[in-house]
Structure 1
Amino acid sequence: MSALLFALALLAQDAAPAATEPAPAPVEAPYPAGAPKDDYGLVAWCHGALTGYLDLHDQVMPEVTRIETTFRAPGRTIADDLQVYADLEKQGRKDLKLFARAMEAAERASLKPINVRGGEAVKRGRATWAAAPNLPKARLAQEWMSWTLPARCGTTAKALETRAKLLGATVDAGAEMPAEPASPSEPPVEAPVEAPANPS
């Protein structure tokens, strides 16, 4: 067998197993930093973060317009670029409705009240924009222009809403948020140990 044929045979052997290997599993979108890990809490956090973003729209748009006008991308008009932000706002309003529906469905289906926990998660989401009043307007506009809703928000909200509607009161809306740690001055309370019964 010639060296060329031998090399081709080796290549064919190496390629054959690769065709039978299963495709890699799709990679799940990561959790946003600081967001709860349960579905209900995450959707509430996303609601808060998106609300904070949308609330800044009118404040930042003059500076966004100035930036887009100053730094032009070739082949695009300023109207095209500004339309992107209008479309993002429109989509954001739709996403807020989805998040609100999913949260409401989970709250109705839960066996215990969870809306207070949801309110706390909304606040945590909005807190992602807490530094906005202290930023220079150009920096705030740049942060706002580069922000995107985490990919996990929409898929989790749809799944939560569907599960809550299908399963009703049997839905698990997620684990409770972690409780505040006990202060060091308060020793943990231990359960009393019962003395063994005296044999008769």
Structure 2
Amino acid sequence: MSGPLRQIPVGVIAPFDLALDRELWRWVPDDVTLLLTRTPYVDEPVSIQLAEAVSDEEDVRRATHELIAVEPRCVAYACTSGSFVHGLAGEKQLVATMRSAGAPNAVTTSGALLEALAALDVRRIAVATPYVEDVTARLRDFLGEAGVETVGSAQLGLAAEIWKVPYDVTAQLVRDADAPEAEAVFVSCTNLPTYDVIAPLEAELGKPVLTA
């Protein structure tokens, strides 16, 4: 008897309030397994302070170390705001922290966004977020630091329970954020459900819709 199917392990460091584990699994092929761990609970609303707390260097180091026992090929830090809140330097430091804790390869949500934009040769973007304005502003600053101009922006202003946002609200948010000069739209936050709306929105808007 053969099997089980050989698995490629990928470690995922999620913020403590991630409620979309199932959505992450929908993205991966059958031969990839996700190994999730979470940052410690913090009694804060969705805010700059929360983004700073869930990207604490020692917590990320500890979470990475916990994953290394099962030999992941890569460790992904899966929080968008936590990886853009301190700009490009902060994103690079998160990667360095995971690597120094033993990750053979490391990536963050915001770093992966920049790689996707470079692959698509996108320099003008619209951003749609569930955040309050000051967190969204940090995202625009992060993109600007990377040479990407934000030409459209919209946010829901939520401080909690982002995972409960229905698809129709997210779709309208993307439409509100879009601008004619935007070459793509980015929908931020790994806790915002987006899987089933991406293809319809790309067909409607005629441009790439990237999500966290």
Give the TM-score taking structure 2 as reference length.
0.22
Q: Which has the higher strand share?
A: 2
Give the TM-score taking structure 1 as reference length.
0.23
Q: Which one scores higher on RCO, CA 8 angstroms, separation ≥ 6?
A: 1
